[in-house]
Structure 1
Amino acid sequence: MRHYAVDSPEAKARLVALALLADGAIDLNEIEALERHEVVTRLGLDQACFDRVVREFCEDMLVSANRGPSGQVELDEETIDALLDDIRDPQIRKRMLRAVLDIVNADGRLAEGEAVLVSHAMASWGLDLYDVANTAHWRRLDRGTSTMPAVPH
């Protein structure tokens, strides 16, 4: 996997890409959630840069991931740990967990891969659902900027 600076917009975007692909495919509901919550802008990226990070993530997965019995590409725990470790600021971790939850719940069902990602992030970051319960949906994900109002569902 490529390396991005810790807590950088690219590191956060790659985690969003991981959440988008956690169930094996990007769902239309997930794309709509990205647009509705203005995720790309809130990550501190423009659309072209976000698309580049997602493309690079997919390329890296094809090179470094394992193929499951169904042929689906799967990342091992060590790789997921490394991706999660690129987010270190405790407040950004809470906001990113909130973002991941919004993405994986966009289609109204939680697939196995999505559940594994959420539980792994919570364990790695020492967070639980109470930690993000009061986190406004999609606040600014970068440090030192003002927060945006919550977007109701």
Structure 2
Amino acid sequence: MRHYQCNSPEAAGRILAACLLTDGHLSLTELEALDRCGMEKRLLLNRHRLLSIVQTLYEDLTRSGYLSWSDVCHVDPTTLAWLAADVQDWRLRRDILELCSEAVMADCGHCDREAEFLRLLRDAWQLPARPVRQDALTGTSVS
């Protein structure tokens, strides 16, 4: 797998790319959500560069022998920890997690693989799960 400089836009983008591929497809809805959430300003990465990183990641993952599309989309915990190690800046980590979460929610679908990806990424960075807050109007828990 290619190496990117620590805390670089490419290192951040590769984690985001892995998240985008986790459910087996990359949708325009996800890309539009990332644009709305300020991906370019937060990661110094525009959509064109992100798509190039997605392609590069795909190429790197498929070099490891014959894999089905489902296997390629699933980044194992060891590989994800290795990718996560390329981002040390806590603000950049926060931005990546927020953008990954927005992308997961963008297509109004949620799969177990996406939830697992976000959990593994938080674990790799030793971050707590998103805190549960109380809704001010109803007193019910909102995550």
TM-score (normalizing by structure 1): 0.74
Look up the match of 1:22.
22
Q: State how far apart, in whole Å, the 2-side matches of 1:82 and 1:66 are.
A: 22
Are the aligned partners of 1:66 and 1:76 in contact in 2 as well (CA < 8 Å)?
Answer: no
Cα 1:35–1:91 shift into 2, 3 Å: closer
* Structure 2 residue aligned with 1:116: 116
CA distance in structure 2 between the partners assigned to 1:32 and 1:126 by the alignment: 29
Question: How many pairs align?
Answer: 130
Partner of 2:130: 129
CA-based RMSD: 2.3
Match of 1:137 in 2: none
1:46 Cα offset (Å) = 4.1
How far residue 62 of structure 1 moved from its aligned partner, in angstroms, is 1.3
1:64 and 1:57 map into 2 onto residues whose CA distance is: 12
* Structure 2 alignment gaps of length 5 or more: 134-143
Larger Rg, first or second structure (1 or 2): 2
Counterpart position of 1:141:
none
1:6 is paired with a residue whose SS is coil
Gaps of 5+ in 1: 134-153
> Given the alignment of the two structures, is residue 45 of structure 1 paired with residue 67 of structure 2, yes or no?
no
Any conservation in 1 of the 2:34–2:102 contact (CA below 8 Å)? no
- Structure 2: distance between partners of 1:36 and 1:65: 37
CA offsets 1:43-87 (integer angstroms, 9 cap, x no match):
21344433322211111121137736xx51232221111011111
Q: Report the more deviating stretch, 119-128 or 40-49.
A: 40-49
Cα distance in 2 for residues equivalent to 1:129 and 1:10 = 25
TM-score by length of 2: 0.78
